[in-house]
């Protein structure tokens, strides 16, 4: 079982998009039973009284535009922001961050990366220190999904060689 955790600042845009796009990919490849796929936030900004906000509406629209959410496995209607916990480091094989700030904040929460589990998503696509475009600031959810898909394709290739 391969346990993958996607991480961004608020867990309402980039990391849930990565979570559900990746779920869609592995489902279409008929390998979903080999994975546990989730996402988390490094901040608590989108969590109030212990209840996280749902995926940001433009991110939801982009997932729908990509045809994601039509199966039980990829249905994101009940996804709510959740903050990263220290124990997540031990519970997941890969902690994949959207940008370098997320890496810094992930390390602040989980401690050291003694098992080299924490990476940027676009590292798997052959980039060095390249961030997933943040649609919270750019408003360009299509570019964000392109970045995510490129990184996820690279991650799938990486998994084939290990």
Helices 14-28 & 57-65, crossing angle to 10 degrees? 20
Catalytic residue set: 8, 14, 134
- Compute and round to an integer the Cα radius of gyration of the chain: 14
Question: 137: alpha, beta or left, given left = phi > 0 and alpha = psi -120 to 50?
Answer: alpha
- 69: its two tokens: 């959410």
Question: 157: alpha, beta or left, given left = phi > 0 and alpha = psi -120 to 50?
Answer: alpha
């Amino acid at each position: 079982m391969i346990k993958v955790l996607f991480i961004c600042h608020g867990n309402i845009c980039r990391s849930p998009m990565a979570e559900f796009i990746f779920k869609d990919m592995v489902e279409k490849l008929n390998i979903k039973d080999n994975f546990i796929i989730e996402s988390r936030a490094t901040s608590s900004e989108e969590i109030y009284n212990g209840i996280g906000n749902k995926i940001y509406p433009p991110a939801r629209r982009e997932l729908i535009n990509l045809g994601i959410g039509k199966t039980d496995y990829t249905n994101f209607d009940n996804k709510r922001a959740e903050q990263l916990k220290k124990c997540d480091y031990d519970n997941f094989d890969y902690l994949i961050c959207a940008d370098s700030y997320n890496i810094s904040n992930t390390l602040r929460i989980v401690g050291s990366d003694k098992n080299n589990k924490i990476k940027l998503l676009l590292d798997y696509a052959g980039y060095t220190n390249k961030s997933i475009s943040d649609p919270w600031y750019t408003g360009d959810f299509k570019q964000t999904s392109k970045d995510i898909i490129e990184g996820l394709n690279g991650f799938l290739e990486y998994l084939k060689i290990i």
